Structure 1
Amino acid sequence: MGDYRTKEIVDRYKFRFTKTLGQNFLVDDKVIEDLVNGAEITSQDFVIEIGPGVGNLTREILKKAKKVTAIEIDRDLIPILEEELKEFDNFQLVHKDALKIDYNEIIGEETKVKLVANLPYYLTTPIIARLLNGKYDFESLTVMIQKEVADRIHAKPSTKEYGSLSLLIQYYCDTSVIRTVPPTCFLPRPKVDSIIIRLHRLSKPRVEVNNEELFFKIIRSSFNMRRKTLPNGLKVLGFSKELIEQAFKETNIDLMRRGETLSIEEFAMLANNIDELSNN
């Protein structure tokens, strides 16, 4: 039914997909139901949806949420969404770029905030990073993403998928996979499987760090040069060889280890030691 409805809307409004926006509209009713249920939306929730498409998912969220604000960048979709969802008085549409918007302006005085998105693959990492690093006050982010990105999010140390994204999300969130979604559930069909994943925001970061900026700089530097040992990877940050070696000694981390082998707890200890030594 969802497939037919989406095609009918696309044909009626003579909508043309924009390849550069990575548009793949969700058309499977069961997947939409699973995504809404996975987001655990209640009548007390204010939901921000990123990339509503023609509104199939939006419609189901609107039936459960207190209010939904959808952010859509494609101007051709604005009149379609306004017409298709005009029956809902708890719907607001914002025609802006989700990567540039100030989410605090949208959240306002709302206290129970959840985000939902069927994200274009090219936007997945920058959107998640922006939402988490921006310190916006939301309970959860439930997203449809490329399976490859979901694998990176759940990756463990010493695997090829483990990297900066894994640690960023571990730092801020607990995660749970809701389901796998095959290409047949989209219009047009992507070439790979997708995953619905829920990121539940922790009340405080998973590890305690003295300097978050330094913590994430160390992580990024470690993975930018994956084949190098950690001390070599950290040279670009401008610390002396002696300081780095002292920090490794005090945290009991072998100088020959590579960044991909360190847990988030070890990265936190190393960052805190480097911060303390550089300020003495």
Structure 2
Amino acid sequence: MARSFNPAKKSLGQHFLKDATILTKIIDVADLSETDQVLEIGPGRGALTKRLLQKSARVTAIELDKDLIVGPLNELFGDPNFQLIEGDAREVNIEEVFPESPRFKLVANLPYNAGTNILRKLLFSKMSPTFTVVMLQREVARNITADCGHLNILGVLFQTYYTTRYHFNVQPRSFSPQPKVVSGVISLKRNCTPLLPHSSAGDFFKFLTNGFSAPRKQLHNSLSLGLGISIQRVKDICYQLDLDTELRPSYIEVNEWVSLYEAFCESGHMGALNKNTRP
């Protein structure tokens, strides 16, 4: 069988999902219709891909591993609704993948070693998915969907533009080979009216990186250290927004982070940020 000749490659962070129950649950969360176009990253041996093809109008998969393309994925090429792009998802231009129809869903079991970067790249590109269902390392999945009190850079960034939800855990035994960590499946629904325009995502990401530079310190200390401005100036801006500067960054609500970002932009303290930086 083809599977025995395609062992997982540690260098690519491969762990192939084999649990039929989990595959069904992912498809249920994706809520696919026959008119949906789906993008899958890292189809692996095609277990999820086959389920997607049964439910959606068209599946476009991006795979980096040539051995999988000529091996287990080769049998899918006979399906007219299947398209495979060989390459690194972090480098593929999504606008070229869906040139005629900008509406698509992202459904994927993302590799542990590049999952966060791939997700950021896709969800903040000019053409982003309307709905996303992905599996990530549980810690990362929890960070993206975190509530106030546990917020972090990823949580604030994604929740500014998407409605996020943590759905379920996936145990190591559901994969081959088994990873050393538990995974989590989350969904992200693109907000019709995000809290910030997508053009601001790069600067906002850098602002959050500075704002969370000292997550265990109080807000005024963390922002002062990260942005290189005086504590008093930070306090003055926070007082204008009625924000408690003694809170830690994780206790600041998503909408409050947005207000902080806008206030710092207006104050002229954001000039050092690279305007072209994407999250």
- Normalised by the length of structure 2, the TM-score is 0.87
Give deviations 1:215-244, integer Å, cap 9, x for gaps. Answer: 333321121211333333333434455543
2:44 matches 1:66:
no
Structure 2: which 5+ residue stretches go unaligned?
A: 270-279
SS in 2 for 1:20: helix
Per the TM alignment, residue 149 of structure 1 is displaced from its structure 2 partner at its CA by: 1.6
Distance 2:264 2:140 in 1: 31
* Aligned equivalent of 1:121: 112
* Aligned equivalent of 1:9: 2
* Aligned equivalent of 1:261: 251
Alignment of 1:104-183 (within 5 A): 104-159=95-150, 162-183=151-172
SS in 2 for 1:109: coil
Judged with a 3 Å threshold, the aligned counterparts in structure 2 of structure 1 residues 104 and 17 are, in CA distance, closer, same or farther, namely same
Give deviations 1:221-272, integer Å, cap 9, x for gaps. Answer: 1212113333333334344555433311211123333212211111122222
Judged with a 3 Å threshold, the aligned counterparts in structure 2 of structure 1 residues 206 and 81 are, in CA distance, closer, same or farther, namely farther
* Aligned equivalent of 1:249: 239
Distance 2:27 2:46 in 1: 13
Give deviations 1:199-221, integer Å, cap 9, x for gaps. Answer: 11111214679955443333211
Paired AA for residue 194 in structure 1: S
Alignment of 1:194-205 (within 5 A): 194-205=183-194
Per the TM alignment, residue 112 of structure 1 is displaced from its structure 2 partner at its CA by: 3.1
Number of residue pairs the alignment of both structures matches: 268
How large is the Cα RMSD of the aligned pairs? 2.2
SS in 2 for 1:216: helix
* Aligned equivalent of 2:182: 193
The share of aligned pairs that are identical, in percent, is 35
SS in 1 for 2:247: coil
- Normalised by the length of structure 1, the TM-score is 0.87
Paired AA for residue 163 in structure 2: D
Per the TM alignment, residue 178 of structure 1 is displaced from its structure 2 partner at its CA by: 3.3
2:223 matches 1:230:
no
Give the stretch that moved more between structures: 258-267 or 226-235. Answer: 226-235
Give deviations 1:15-34, integer Å, cap 9, x for gaps. Answer: 23211111111111221122
Judged with a 3 Å threshold, the aligned counterparts in structure 2 of structure 1 residues 30 and 150 are, in CA distance, closer, same or farther, namely same
Distance 1:177 1:253 in 2: 28
Distance 1:10 1:212 in 2: 41
* Aligned equivalent of 1:3: none
* Aligned equivalent of 2:39: 48
Distance 2:135 2:110 in 1: 6
Distance 1:95 1:216 in 2: 29
SS in 2 for 1:180: strand
Structure 1: which 5+ residue stretches go unaligned?
A: 1-7
